Chains A and B, each alone.
Chain A
Amino acid sequence: MNALAHDGLAMTGRQLRRVRNNPGLAILTQMMPVNMLLFFGYVFGSALAVPGREYRSFLVPGLLVATAAGGLMTGMFQAAQDTHRGVADRFRTMPVSRAAVPLGQAVADLVVTAAGTVPLLLVGLAVGWRIEGSAAGAAGAVGLLLFFRFGCTCAGILLGLLTRSEEAAGQLGASSFVLPLLSDAYIPTDNLPGWLRALAEWNPISAVTTALRDLFGNAPVPRDAAWPVAHPVAGSLGWCLVLTAVFLPLAVSRYARAE
């Protein structure tokens, strides 16, 4: 077996075992978006002009993408923790393929994320969200969501390797929850003032959210929006490719570099 595949698989197994040995953290992380769906869906939903059920349908794709963007936080925290606690150094002194450590972390994260979307989708179904498009579209939506998560995790791993300290990563990660607030994940962007609207629509979260709404058939594409949102599938694929192409090699080379 190829060295990268062998070591990468071992590293993926390591991360999955960590989740299995410490399920509390994963469960708490997965409960967040479910709570937000209920809170936003019923509290904000009743204050908005759109009917409640319609808002909750609008909200489910937004929460899926906002949660996927949390890969930035998770990736950063795990990488910083490994560095801080010295496990990363042990791997560096071993004959381990250099790309295997960050890659194994990102792949294991995808497995956990995929499993984590299930409770959110089930609660979504219970509060009125439906797949209103084709099965192929829905499958495409899930694929896109995971691709986006992968790109965000790679960016997070790089940041984690740069910050090195668990505390700093935790602080920085906590502040990353504002990213979805500056997008169309929770609210439509058309009523925002011009400059803020442009900012929100060039946020990758917006393109991916709009693509999911389109592929699930939950909401029409706002054709007057900025290009990535007006062409959401192409736009979000572009964002995912850029995130991965930039941050994966940077994370790998940062990991492999001896100071």
Chain B
Amino acid sequence: MTTTYAVLSEGLEKRFGAVHALRGLDLAVAEGTVCGLLGPNGAGKTTAVRLLTTLLRPDGGSARVAGHDLLREAADVRRRIGVTGQYASVDGDLTGRENLRLFARLHRVRGPAARAGELLERFGLGEAADRRASTYSGGMRRRLDLAASLIRRPGVLFLDEPTTGLDPASRARIWQAVRELKSEGTTVLLTTQYLEEADQLADDIALLDRGRVAHTGSPAELKALVGSHVEAVVAEAGALPRAAAVLDRLTGREPVLDHERNAVGAVTTDPTLTLPRLVRELDASGVPLLDAGIRPATLDDVFLRLTGETTDSKEPVA
């Protein structure tokens, strides 16, 4: 069976003056899957979404979205997509119900009032339906946003950082909604800075780095590429270089120091590096070891490894 792609882009380019935001974006999202577009701020995630949702015109390259050419058939693309994110929003001066009815009318849905009511119930906004959206909490507003993008069961749903700034409970609700949509067959393209979010939701991840896709794969594949994360916590800062030297020798990779925690970490793909061996080697070198561990790589490690950037403040050893 051949795969059909809900989103397929080739060499998408976008410049903003001197800033080269996208330098040839090649992206393939298979129908019915959730694809996580992951990258640090400035990697081009939002630009990619704005291009693929017809909000921006590319300076080069081409793309097909939901079966239509992005440039020549923009109107057909708009009929088949839903967009929720930092940018596409709802009208705060209208109530939740008025917003959804308006969007339903614009989408030519039969029975816009019924559709609005159905979505309000589904997203737990029934009670707040007749209040102005500007009075909603951040989580409610995001749910209304999501409901607005689902008015006509979109072929492709774009979620641009859908949970940024939300509390854990609201985040869980959005995640649940995304899982339901996937089970209904909706293709989802999701951008996020949260590694855990991509890990939880995405079938495939595209790592975006400086306007290009640096790597793609399932979360498990990406983590396997990197291997496991080895860490040692020492009793005194003076012992860090010695511990780092041991880790360097065992893993063959450049260790990362965490001065705040007196810890040193490195990644390894060597299956013979077990915890007892790690402890023996560190002990033999006279490192005052407090804690040691080997755990499967996180997407954070993947990030560091594949893009040379990290999402936290650990500094690599010079």
Give chain A's interface residues, CB within 8 Å of chain B.
6-7, 10, 13-14, 17-18, 21-22, 85-87, 89-96, 258-259
Residues B94 and A90 in contact, CB atoms below 8 Å apart: no
Q: Mark B54-94, 1 if CB is under 8 A from A, else 0.
A: 11110000000000000000110011010100111111111
Interface segment, B98-106, B170-178, B180-188, B250-258?
B98-106
Residues A90 and B90 in contact, CB atoms below 8 Å apart: yes
Q: A203 to B227: give the CA distance in the assembly, Å.
A: 74
Residues B94 and A17 in contact, CB atoms below 8 Å apart: yes
Partner of B87, one of A18, A86, A95: A86
Q: Chain B residues with Cβ under 8 A from A89's Cβ?
A: 55, 83, 87-89
Q: A95 to B89: give the CA distance in the assembly, Å.
A: 16
Nearest-Cβ distance from residue A239 to partner chain B, whole angstroms: 32
6 A-B Cβ contacts within 8 A?
A10-B102, A21-B98, A85-B92, A90-B89, A93-B55, A93-B81
Residues A92 and B54 in contact, CB atoms below 8 Å apart: yes
Residues A94 and B93 in contact, CB atoms below 8 Å apart: no
Chain A to chain B: the 6 pairs with minimum beta-carbon distance, closest first: A86-B89, A18-B93, A90-B88, A93-B83, A95-B79, A258-B57
Q: Chain A residues with Cβ under 8 A from B106's Cβ?
A: 7, 10, 91, 94-96
Answer yes or no: B122 CB below 8 A from chain A CBs: no
Nearest-Cβ distance from residue A230 to partner chain B, whole angstroms: 44
Q: A63 to B92: give the CA distance in the assembly, Å.
A: 32
Nearest-Cβ distance from residue A253 to partner chain B, whole angstroms: 14
Residues A17 and B107 in contact, CB atoms below 8 Å apart: no
Residue of B nearest to A100 (CB): B106
Residues B105 and A10 in contact, CB atoms below 8 Å apart: yes
Nearest-Cβ distance from residue A257 to partner chain B, whole angstroms: 8
Nearest-Cβ distance from residue B174 to partner chain A, whole angstroms: 18
Residues A87 and B107 in contact, CB atoms below 8 Å apart: no
Given A85-B92, A90-B90: A95 and B102 interface contact (C-beta under 8 Å) = no
Q: A79 to B92: give the CA distance in the assembly, Å.
A: 14
Partner of B107, one of A13, A21, A95, A259: A95
Given A10-B102, A90-B83, A94-B106: A259 and B57 interface contact (C-beta under 8 Å) = yes
The tally of residues in B whose CB lies under 8 Å from a CB in A reads 30
Partner of B95, one of A21, A85, A90: A21
Answer yes or no: B148 CB below 8 A from chain A CBs: yes
Residues B94 and A21 in contact, CB atoms below 8 Å apart: yes
Q: A92 to B85: give the CA distance in the assembly, Å.
A: 14
Partner of A95, one of B55, B56, B75, B94: B75
Q: A258 to B90: give the CA distance in the assembly, Å.
A: 20
Residues A93 and B95 in contact, CB atoms below 8 Å apart: no
Q: Chain B residues with Cβ under 8 A from A7's Cβ?
A: 106
Answer yes or no: B132 CB below 8 A from chain A CBs: yes
Partner of B94, one of A14, A92, A93, A259: A14
Partner of A85, one of B74, B75, B78, B89: B89
Q: Chain B residues with Cβ under 8 A from A93's Cβ?
A: 53-55, 78, 81, 83, 88
Q: A13 to B102: give the CA distance in the assembly, Å.
A: 9
Q: Chain B residues with Cβ under 8 A from A258's Cβ?
A: 54-57, 74
Q: A36 to B81: give the CA distance in the assembly, Å.
A: 50
B83, B89, B103, most chain A CB atoms within 10 A = B89
B57, B81, B95, B98, most chain A CB atoms within 10 A = B98
Q: Chain B residues with Cβ under 8 A from A96's Cβ?
A: 78, 106
Residues B107 and A18 in contact, CB atoms below 8 Å apart: no
Residues A14 and B87 in contact, CB atoms below 8 Å apart: no
Given A94-B106, A95-B79, A96-B106: A22 and B93 interface contact (C-beta under 8 Å) = yes
Given A13-B102, A95-B107: A87 and B56 interface contact (C-beta under 8 Å) = no
Q: Chain B residues with Cβ under 8 A from A14's Cβ?
A: 91, 94, 98, 102
Q: Chain A residues with Cβ under 8 A from B88's Cβ?
A: 86, 89-90, 93
Residue of B nearest to A82 (CB): B91
Given A94-B106, A95-B107: A18 and B94 interface contact (C-beta under 8 Å) = yes
Q: Which of B91-130 contact A (CB under 8 A)?
A: 91-95, 98, 102-103, 105-108
Residues B79 and A21 in contact, CB atoms below 8 Å apart: no
Nearest-Cβ distance from residue A15 to partner chain B, whole angstroms: 9
Q: Chain A residues with Cβ under 8 A from B54's Cβ?
A: 92-93, 258
Question: 20 extra interchain contacts, Cβ-Cβ under 8 A, other than A90-B83, A258-B74?
Answer: A10-B105, A10-B106, A14-B102, A18-B93, A85-B89, A86-B87, A86-B88, A87-B90, A87-B91, A89-B55, A89-B89, A90-B90, A91-B106, A94-B103, A94-B106, A94-B107, A95-B78, A95-B106, A258-B55, A259-B57
Partner of A90, one of B98, B132, B148: B148
Residue of B nearest to A259 (CB): B56
Q: Chain A residues with Cβ under 8 A from B57's Cβ?
A: 258-259
Q: A38 to B55: give the CA distance in the assembly, Å.
A: 48
Residues A94 and B78 in contact, CB atoms below 8 Å apart: yes
Nearest-Cβ distance from residue B129 to partner chain A, whole angstroms: 14
